[in-house]
Structure formats: C-alpha cells, structure tokens
Structure 1
Amino acid sequence: MSRHSVLEVELSVVDPDQARLQQLGYKQELKRGLSVVSNFAFSFSLISVLTGVTTTYNTGLRYGGPASMTLGWLVVAAFNGCVALSMAEICSAYPTSGGLYYWSAKLAGKGRAPFASWITGWFNIVAQWTGTASVNFSLAQLIQVMIVLGTGGANGGYLASKYVVLSIYGAILILLGLINSLPIQRLSWLGKLGVFWNTTGVFVLVVLIPVVAKERASMEFIFTHFNTDNDLGIRHKAYILAMGLLMSQYSLLGYDTSAHMTEETKNADRSGPTGIMTSVALASIFGWIYLVALTSVVTDIPYLLNPNNDAGGYAIAQALYSTFHKRYGSGVGGIICLGVVAVAIFICGAANVTSDSRMGYAFSRDGAMPFSRFWHRLNKHESLGSQVAFQAMVSVATTGLYIAYALPIFFRVTTARKSFVPGPFNLGRYSVLVGWVAVAWVALLTVLFSLPVAYPVTQANFNYTPVAVGGVLLLSVGAWVSNARFWFQGPITNVDS
C-alpha cells in the first residue's frame, strides 16, 4: 500500500465524516470547515423570509389578500414541514453535496437509478438557476423602486428603464460571483450574517411598522378579509386561494442548501438534517410574524397595487413609504426599511449562488453537466425585464425545485420502502406517512401553479410555468433517450476500491 493510501485510511479512521463519504463513493475534496450553526445559516439565509415575503407580496395581495396570506402561510408551513422532515431523514442517510439527485439514485433501485438521478438532478439545478435569477432580479427591481421613491415618486422621480434594471441585475450577479470565490470560512461568515440580518431585521420591522403607523388594519381584516377584486378576471375563491399560496411556498424555498453543504460540514449526518429542520421551522415562525406586521399597514389594497402610485405599484414599498410619510411628513424611513430588505435579498442571492455552485460541482463530478471537467474544478483558495418575467421565474423556481424535493421522497416511500437504511436522524414508523403527505402536497402544488393566472388568457398574462417545467422534463427525457442513457450511470464512485 502506498504512503498516500495509508494516509487516507488513517484519516478515515479518525474522521467519521470522511469515512462515511468514502462509503458513499466519494473522496473528501471540499474542505470540511462548517459547523451545524454554519450549515443552518446557509439554508436560513437562502430561505430569507424578508426576501420571499417582500418581493412576492403583490402576488399574495392580488390573489386573496390578507386572509389568503396570513392563514395560507400556516397551511403551507404545515405541509412544507412534512417535505422538510422527509428530506432531513434522507439527508441523514446520504450526506453528500449531490443531495437530491444522489438520493434518487440510491432510492430508485439499481435498474432505475441512472434515469432517476438524471431527471432529479436536472430539475434541481434548473430550478436553482431560476431561483437565483428571481432573487437577484427582485433586488434589481427593489433598488429601482428605492431610487424612484428617493427622487420624488413614480410621477416625478427617476424611473429607470428596463435596460438599466437589467444592468443592475447583471452587476449584482458579477459581484455575487466574486464573493463566492472566497474561501469557505469567509462564506460561512456571510451565512451567519444572513441569520443575524434576517432575524434582527424582522424584529426591528415587526416592532417599528405598527408603532409608526397612524392607520392600522384591524385583526379581523388581517385574518379574515379575502380580496377578490384583482382585475384578473378570476372570482372563484378557491381558485384565488390556490394562486395566493405561491407567495408562501416561494418564501419557504431553498432549504436543500443544507444538503448541498454537507461535504463541507462536520458531523454531516446530524448537522445536515438539523440545518434543514431548524431553518424551515424558524423561517416559518419569523415569516408569519413579519407577514402579519406588514399586513397591519395594508388599509387600501387597490391603491397599493395601482401602478400610478409613488412606488409604481410595488405594494409593500408604497405601504412603508406612506406609513412614514403620514407620521413624519417624509417617506425616508420607509426607504430605509426597504434598504434593510435589500441587504437581506443580497445575502440571500449570495447563498443561492453558493448552493448552485455546490450542486453544479457535484453534478459535474458525476459527468452529467456539459463541460463537466471544467465545472468540477475546485478553486485553489477553497472556496427579461418585466414583472411578468419575474412572476414566471418565481413560479418556475418554486414548482421545479419542489418537484426535485419530491422525487427522492417518492422513491423512498415506494421502491426503497423496506430497503432504506436510515441515518442517525429518522422518523421511525411515521416515515412513510410523512413521505406520502409530502409527495401529495408537491403534486397538488405542481397542478395549482400551472393553472392560468388571469382570464382571458393573453400573451401578457400567460402562465409560463407548465411550459418551462414541461420543457425541462421534455429536454431532460429527450437527452436521456437520445444520448445520456448510453453513458450516464448516476453518481460515479471516485475512491479506490
């Protein structure tokens, strides 16, 4: 045995994380420097309720309004918790950066493993790309709204063209790429900053907004008022409620980040599941409190959604601006509040890029990405411009990523129901029941978020979700049938036998 091989054996003896990773078929290539707190921090920063709630509040306000959001959030949080619990259980058994697509390969059975892995991986990575695009595009939009409000409002201030907004968006992406070239210790610090900023930001805004507001909505309005006046041609309450769930579902998206960071996390089979469950639980609580606080200053829904108001129809920006203006004669305080949200969105965007890079690294390691050898290289230092487009990104990211979440859970409760060997964290006898609830919930969401969002359907309001999600399915299956099935074998072992 060579000296290098002896060293690897010795390391695997003293490092259970490396030993487990080798059992799963991979060498320890990434630096394992994250604690359970750091792992949680990445997921919590990526979920970022300040980001999700603020940027999609218009959607919730149009589709059902206060009741749809405040009560719908609780429904989504409960079912989303089942998805998170099932994912945490599987993560404990298979703590690798590949996450979802690796899990599908292990759970689908030997004959179906390559195809299951291929489909899950492509849904995962395309949805992550779309999610990153939606987060950073929303930041560019928010910056533009802050500039408008700071220069006199939409009826007199500087209203940036869509090309300026896209330029801001491009600059944000470049900056986030540079940040993600930093060593993992620096990125870990950024993740912790995200936890601090989101929790502190929510606390400050939740206290500040109701105190400053001269006019506040009643509790009855916040929890029972159902808005059907959406100018979208939709009046059926059940339909409206279904569309309104998108805000809550998108706001609690992204906790698979904990799984993608497991190869850089100590005690990964425990820390990864803990990161998933803790980030979802805290985001559900903080998000609902923040949502209620925002809704307390919503007293005139048509005005907040009116594109001719000071914020150009950006409901939360207008609500905050008006709240401070009525109290102090100036809306500067509202713009500062939006600045707090903007920082949270930026940190969320950074966490998105971090998660994307780990997923891309793992998928490329197994040869599934075009130019895989290029994308699999490690850093030596370790390390459409419209509201319609944004709405499409949000819907596609939410639907696509939850499909990727559900696929390994589906294989867990069907093919691998008896053969699955759980890790330190497991659901015991409730595992299959929770798994089926999670799968059923995602199946329902996939149908709901593919329905038309307005009637009559036109090119301007067409819901591109079924086209995009169907396109990913069609292209990935087509690539599999025509080419990939001849060479892609799923996760590739890169350790010596």
Structure 2
Amino acid sequence: MFIGLALGELASAAPTSGGLYFWTYKYASPDWRNLLSWIVGYSNTMGNIAGVASIEWGCAVQLMAAVSIGSNLTFTPTTGQIFGVYAALLVLNGIVSSTATRLIARLQGLYIVLNVLLCLSIIIALPASTPAEFKNTASYTFTGFVNLNGWSSGFAVVLSFLAPLWTIGGFDGPIHISEEASNASTAIPWSIVSAIGIASILGWGELAHFLIVSSYFYGD
C-alpha cells in the first residue's frame, strides 16, 4: 500500500503515460537522470511484457485443464496445444487493447464486477462445500509452515515473495493510460489505491480459505 500511495502522489502531481521513467528523469540528479531513466524505463517495459506473458500462459493452462476435466480426463493437452491457445490469447488481447477507449472502459467495468464476484464466490463456496473433518485449524492456517519443495526453508520463504512481487509489478498500470483518462490527477491515484486495497482484502480472503481447506485437496 505504501508503494501505491507513493505512486498515487506522483501520478497526481505529474500524470503522464511515461510514468516511472519520466518521474525518474524529472526528480533525479542531472548527473544520473539519463542512466537511471533508461534503466527504469527498460526494466518497467520488460516487467510488463513478462507480466502479460505469464497471465496469458496461466490462462491457457487453466483453459486446457478445464477442457481435460470436461472430457473426463480422456483428453490430455500437449505443450504445443497449450502454446497455441497462449498465442491466440495474446493476439486477442492485442486486438481488444487496440479498440476504442470507450469500449475498453466498459469492458473494464464488466471485468471488475466479474472478478469481485468470482473472488467472493470462492471465499463462500470453499468452506461451505468442504467437510468439517477436512478443514485445517486456525492455528495451522495462520501459523503453520510446510516446506514442500527441495529448497531450504529460508530460501522457500524468499521464493514465497514472488507472488506479491508479481502483483506489485502491475501497480503502475493505470499510470500508463493517464493521457486517456478524464481528470487524471484524481482518477489515476484513486484507481491505484483502490485496486490495491480491494485486491489485498479479496486476495487475503482467498488465500486464507485455500489454506483452510488445503488438506481436503492435498492431504495432511
């Protein structure tokens, strides 16, 4: 949230699609601004590219898993088939992103509602449909530590920060459409802070409920 507040403050003072690299150039020392702006700009760009790629790949895997489950596991997707769906999703995203701003805004509103409803349905349905004997205790859920990989426990803790880092990588998303937004100096900071707040609450709720019922799916 502190990162989001800082980004919101900068977006309010200087709303521009350049965002991070522009602010770096504007506020950095004249001796370092060119190098720092170049580093920030390219790292931000690579992060956005990797973020979109990871989202589409995850979506492709889930879609093919749904097809496999729907076929009663008679269909097993190959890596090539999953990659084909992944490529199609990238093209579809590019087409949608190239449409009129008004249409994208309406789609965003629809997707926000669907995402919130999906999160709430998971939070409600998981504990309601899991037998009581398979639910973990609150003590285990919130204080237990289980290392299921081959790394040391200390490094496993470090790896666990990859998920929040992946989320933080998208905090600056609204900034890059500042020049398409109405009243950007207010709308952009509000969108950043509200998105982080809502995602934190719903994300924490989902993860907590996944952990509560994890023994039902993975065993003790």
**Amino acid paired to 1:109:** S
The equivalent of 1:223 in structure 2 is 142
The equivalent of 2:27 in structure 1 is 107
The equivalent of 2:15 in structure 1 is 95
Relative contact order: is structure 1 or structure 2 higher (C-alpha 8 Å, sep ≥ 6)? 2
The equivalent of 1:140 in structure 2 is 60
The 5 A counterparts of 1:18-29 are none
Distance 2:70 2:219 in 1: 19
Aligned with 1:164 (options 81, 86, 92):
81
User: In the alignment, is the contact (CA less than 8 A) between 1:84 and 1:277 conserved in 2?
Assistant: yes
**Amino acid paired to 2:77:** A
RMSD, aligned α-carbons: 1.8
Alignment of 1:84 with 2:10, yes or no, is no
Aligned with 2:184 (options 268, 278, 283):
268
Give runs of ≥4 in structure 1 deviating > 4 Å. 300-304
Aligned with 1:299 (options 205, 208, 215):
215
Larger radius of gyration: 1
Distance 2:96 2:187 in 1: 25
Percent sequence identity is: 25
Alignment of 1:197 with 2:117, yes or no, is no
**Amino acid paired to 1:181:** S
1:129 CA drift (Å): 0.5
1:290 CA drift (Å): 1.2
Q: Secondary structure at the match of 1:110?
A: coil
User: In the alignment, is the contact (CA less than 8 A) between 1:252 and 1:284 conserved in 2?
Assistant: no
**Amino acid paired to 1:287:** G
The equivalent of 1:244 in structure 2 is 160
User: In the alignment, is the contact (CA less than 8 A) between 1:252 and 1:283 conserved in 2?
Assistant: no
User: In the alignment, is the contact (CA less than 8 A) between 2:47 and 2:169 conserved in 1?
Assistant: no
User: In the alignment, is the contact (CA less than 8 A) between 1:140 and 1:166 conserved in 2?
Assistant: yes
1:130 CA drift (Å): 0.8
State the TM-score, normalizing by the size of structure 2.
0.92
Distance 2:165 2:136 in 1: 24
Map Cα deviations across residues 105-126 of structure 1 (whole Å, 9 max, x no partner): 1011334332222211111111
Q: Secondary structure at the match of 2:214?
A: coil
Distance 1:229 1:190 in 2: 39
The equivalent of 2:202 in structure 1 is 286
Aligned with 1:182 (options 99, 103, 109):
99
Map Cα deviations across residues 23-56 of structure 1 (whole Å, 9 max, x no partner): xxxxxxxxxxxxxxxxxxxxxxxxxxxxxxxxxx
**Amino acid paired to 1:164:** Q
> Structure 1 or 2: larger helix share?
2
The 5 A counterparts of 1:8-87 are 81-87=1-7
- Structure 1, unpaired ranges of 5+: 1-80, 305-497
Map Cα deviations across residues 33-87 of structure 1 (whole Å, 9 max, x no partner): xxxxxxxxxxxxxxxxxxxxxxxxxxxxxxxxxxxxxxxxxxxxxxxx2211211
Distance 1:204 1:302 in 2: 21
The equivalent of 1:212 in structure 2 is 129
Identify if the C-alpha distance between structure 1 residues 149 and 251 changes in structure 2 by more than 3 Å, giving closer, same or farther.
Answer: farther
Identify if the C-alpha distance between structure 1 residues 114 and 229 changes in structure 2 by more than 3 Å, giving closer, same or farther.
Answer: closer
Map Cα deviations across residues 413-463 of structure 1 (whole Å, 9 max, x no partner): xxxxxxxxxxxxxxxxxxxxxxxxxxxxxxxxxxxxxxxxxxxxxxxxxxx
User: In the alignment, is the contact (CA less than 8 A) between 2:11 and 2:188 conserved in 1?
Assistant: yes
1:220 CA drift (Å): 1.8
Distance 1:148 1:171 in 2: 19
Distance 2:167 2:135 in 1: 24
Identify if the C-alpha distance between structure 1 residues 302 and 211 changes in structure 2 by more than 3 Å, giving closer, same or farther.
Answer: closer
Distance 1:224 1:252 in 2: 24
Map Cα deviations across residues 215-261 of structure 1 (whole Å, 9 max, x no partner): 3222122112211242x1x23x3322121122233245412011111
